[in-house]
């Protein structure tokens, strides 16, 4: 069975990129084992004002340490860090953006959470998602699953604990045109465009699927299609989810699988970030549904 390293080699990835993907991916089993002793919340908040779990802090510190010691990354931006981290000892110019533990509020309920990573060749972390060299995420479920794209489609791998390798699970993954949706936020704070979008879903027989974990909900799209959304609102017109750490890496993967990502008006991967913790409204999923959402937004009298 094809293993992760061999797959990356067949894609023509340079040795340093392969080494970087593997060194981060191999930390996932270590992170998984740490769940047992890190089940509660800290008394601290991340730069977005969210209460951190013990695992948020643990995973962030662990990954920064391992990535720094690898000598493979010049610059790193983490959802849990207020400032960009720079490694002067790096022998490469790769730049990493990451959400060390997405969906961490679900840890106490034992629902699926994951780690999201994006890699740029060079030029710093404040780049549009369209310039990503690679992106991957890990989902901690019944299996530890790694979904990766190096710009040549999307593949998934499962961690084989006995042999300590990621084994190919699915290849050439594409997003089907499904009829399910999930949406975050409070209905009383939704903007008129989003209400029209939800009305369209309800009128056309879409089913609700929403876990509260962005990475888990996006993972469903690769099997069932449909849409995940976290819209702008009256309170937060720029949305809640982070452009660098969440939208861009997962948008890159979904786009590579034939889907799309939008803020309702434009492809999110084309947005040039202005700051590290910039947020954006998000609609991500099946291509045809995204086109319908953009049609709803463009027909609004607001624009």
Q: Give the domain CATH number at 195.
A: 3.40.190.80
Tell me the whole-structure pTM to 2 decimals: 0.95
Same domain, residue pair 191 and 260: yes
Same domain, residue pair 113 and 256: no
Question: Does residue 303 belong to any structural domain of this protein?
Answer: no
Question: Per-residue pLDDT for 303 more than 50?
Answer: no
- Residue pLDDT, tens place only, 68-112: 999 999 999 999 999 999 999 999 999 999 999 998 888 888 889
Question: Does residue 143 belong to any structural domain of this protein?
Answer: yes
Residue that is last in its domain, among 114, 145, 170? 170
Same domain, residue pair 189 and 46: no
Kindly report the average pLDDT of the chain as a whole number.
94
Residue that is last in its domain, among 170, 203, 237? 170
Same domain, residue pair 143 and 280: no
Same domain, residue pair 64 and 157: yes
Same domain, residue pair 133 and 254: no
- Residue pLDDT, tens place only, 145-173: 999 999 999 999 999 998 999 999 999 99
pLDDT value of residue 290: 98
Domain carrying residue 251: 180-298
Separation of alpha carbons 72 and 94, rounded Å: 7
| Cα-based distances in Å from 145 to 10, 108, 195, 255 | 20, 20, 34, 19
Question: Per-residue pLDDT for 279 more than 50?
Answer: yes
């Amino acid at each position: 069975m094809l293993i992760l390293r061999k797959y990356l080699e067949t894609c023509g990835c340079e040795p340093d990129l392969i080494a970087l993907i593997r060194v981060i991916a191999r930390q996932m089993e270590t992170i998984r084992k740490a769940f047992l002793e890190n089940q509660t919340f800290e008394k601290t908040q991340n730069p977005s004002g969210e209460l951190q779990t013990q695992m948020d802090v643990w995973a962030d510190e662990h990954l920064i340490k391992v990535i720094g010691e690898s000598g493979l990354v010049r610059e790193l931006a983490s959802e849990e860090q207020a400032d960009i981290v720079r490694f002067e000892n790096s022998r490469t110019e790769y730049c990493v953006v990451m959400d060390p533990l997405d969906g961490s509020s679900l840890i106490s309920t034992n629902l699926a959470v994951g780690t999201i990573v994006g890699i740029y060749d060079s030029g710093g972390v404040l780049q549009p998602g369209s310039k990503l060299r690679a992106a991957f995420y890990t989902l901690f479920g019944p299996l530890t699953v790694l979904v990766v794209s190096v710009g040549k489609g999307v593949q998934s791998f499962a961690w084989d604990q006995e042999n300590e390798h990621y084994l190919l699970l699915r290849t050439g993954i594409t997003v089907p045109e499904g009829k399910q949706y999930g949406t975050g936020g409070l209905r009383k704070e939704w903007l008129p465009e989003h209400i029209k979008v939800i009305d369209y879903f309800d009128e056309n027989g879409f089913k609700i699927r929403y876990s509260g974990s962005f990475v888990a909900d996006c993972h469903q799209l690769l099997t069932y299609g449909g849409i995940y959304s976290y819209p702008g609102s009256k309170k937060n017109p720029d949305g809640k989810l982070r452009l660098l750490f969440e939208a861009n890496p997962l948008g890159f993967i979904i786009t590579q699988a034939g889907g799309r990502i939008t803020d309702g008006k434009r492809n999110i991967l084309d947005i040039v970030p202005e700051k590290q913790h910039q947020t954006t409204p998000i609609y991500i999923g099946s291509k045809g549904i995204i086109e319908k959402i953009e049609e709803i937004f463009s027909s609004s009298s607001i624009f």
